[in-house]
Amino acid sequence: MKRLVAAAATALLLWTTPLQAQSILRDAETETMFAEMSNPLIKAAGLSTRDVKVVLINDESINAFVAGGQTVYVHSGLIQAADNANEVQGVIAHELGHIADGHVVLADRGTKPAMGMYLLSMVLGLAAMAAGSGEAGAGIMAAGQQAAMGSYLSFSRVQESTADATGAKFLREANVSGRGMLSFFKKLQQQEYRFGTANIDPFMQSHPLSGERVATLTADLQASPAWANKPDAALEERFRRVKAKLAGYVMPSDQTLQAYPPSNQSIYAHYARAYAYHKAGYPEKADAEANALVKAEPTDPYFLEIKGQILLEAGKPVESLAPLREATEGSRNNPLIATTFGHALIATENKANYPEATRVLRTAVGRDDQNPFAWMQLGTVYELTGDTARAALATAERASMGGDMRTASASAQYALANIPANTTDWIRAQDIAMAAQNEMDDNPKQYKRRK
């Protein structure tokens, strides 16, 4: 019986826990776009732009969600499905509604009653089976499962409706048109039509049907003074570039080339094809597309970045240095671009480049300490230059970020013993060592040493 109850608990968790397995995509231009489109909405929500992050997930489905803290996760499939930047803003406004309304914190109010119903039906069903009524017991458990699911989904639909209303409020207060929110819901409504609304049970959905959402929101969104606002031309341009670049990175190359054929000589098409050709193994074509971008806008840091990245990944680190150095300087030392530049400097295997790599990478992690690749590169250059103590500190940073507290503790302890006391790096090593040890002390079973 205990096994069955545990299985029931697991089943309910599967209904309520968002997928966490997708990979995060980090790109300097995309993160700049997200900041530009979300910052007015974050301020309208009374939240801090330092604390709220919009993160891109590599997943072709059309989705976005909030999972703990104040992070909005947007699927790459949603970017590809959106027709303009304002549609993405509408989605972000909705997700900020979940954060501002405390829906993540209040999730237990939906799961606990549903779990109670499910477990009660399990107990009654097993009791009926034990009494010899197997068919009746199975029926009780099935009914309990459906009732529990219905209870949770009803709770979820209420939260979604509330987030819609709150998101509409944030759009109005940020002076952002709600046209995108409405048009994106209509896009989802068309998908429901294709599936066949007769096949959709509205009471077994986690969200209200899109038609209901459109009907509920239309009057409020159209009444907003921001409704008639023209699209932000600069933001729209950024969105079209990011959408094209993303297609080159995440879509199969043949699909990208179909969507952006060689006959299309727009900037967006060059952007999409550059990485698509590189990924497909056509280096000359990839270089030609990247060169077309730089020719069109010689100082654009993102065009210089993709040119340098393609050269670096093609095994030409020396040739990649010039565009990546320009991209780093032109982006005011954007930490993601700087990390690629630091990696290229190391990849030349020229000792003369190691001091610059160290400076560049230290600046990068100083501005973004949540980039494990940057810490790995910094640790590599420290190791190459004989600074094993700071190499260990970089390893401790990366291990701590990844939850490997045993490695974090051991590496930080080594750094403490070999870095001059009371320096900035020594203090940081001490902080990591203490935090890692506290985590291991609090979870002794998880960190029990293997014999």
The model's pLDDT over 36-46, given as tens digits with 9 standing for 90+, comes to 999 999 999 99
Digit-coded pLDDT (tens) for 250-274: 999 999 999 999 999 999 999 999 9
Least confident of 163-177, 392-406, 437-451: 437-451
Q: Between 85-100 and 134-173, two packed helices, what is the crossing angle to 10 degrees?
A: 110
d(CA 380, CA 373): 10
Tell me how far apart the alpha carbons of residues 360 and 366 are, in angstroms, rounded to a whole number. Answer: 10
For residue 401, the Cα-to-chain-centroid distance in whole angstroms is 16
Please write the tens of the pLDDT for every residue from 396-440.
999 999 999 999 999 999 999 999 999 999 999 999 999 999 999
Helix residue ranges, H only, 314-353: 317-330, 335-347
Task: Read off φ and ψ for residue 64, nearest 5 degrees.
Answer: -155, 150
Average pLDDT score over residue span 323-342? 98
Give the chain's length. Answer: 451
> Quick one: 243 exposed, middle or buried, by C-beta within 10 A (0-12, 13-18, 19+)?
buried
**Residue 211 confidence (pLDDT):** 73
Question: What does pTM read for this prediction?
Answer: 0.82
What are the tens digits of pLDDT across the range 103-162?
565 555 545 554 544 444 555 555 556 666 666 556 555 655 654 454 444 445 556 878
